[in-house]
Amino acid sequence: MANTPQSKKRARQNARRAEINKARRSRIRTYLRRVEEAIASGDQSAAQEALRAAQPEIMRGVGKGILHKNTASRKISRLSSRVKSIA
């Protein structure tokens, strides 16, 4: 358990940041799930719209430190190739 005032404050800050990060990560996963569902349904236009909505959310996660830049780029790249392959 935290003993010094500084470590007590750090524990409070960490808890608050963890909650914010958890919400952001959940939001990103929701957008990814929407793209996955659109791909599974086979509707290319819906998948493209879902991907277009998901891209800024994923990159916002990069800016906020939730995802690494390369991870986000890889996810977007793989999703977009899957959307393109729907015929």
| pTM assigned to the model | 0.87
CA within 13 Å, CB half, 58: 23
Residue 1: what pLDDT? 75
| Domain of 78, in residue numbers | 5-84
Counted domains in the chain:
1
Tell me: the pLDDT tens digits for 59-68?
Answer: 999 999 999 9
Q: Using an 8 Å Cβ cutoff, are 51 and 34 in contact? A: no
CA separation for the pair 85, 77 (Å, rounded): 12
CA separation for the pair 24, 22 (Å, rounded): 5
3-state secondary structure of 1: coil
What CATH number is given to the structural domain containing 38? 1.20.58.110
Q: Give the distance, in angstroms, between the CA of residue 10 and the centroid of all CA atoms in the same chain.
A: 26
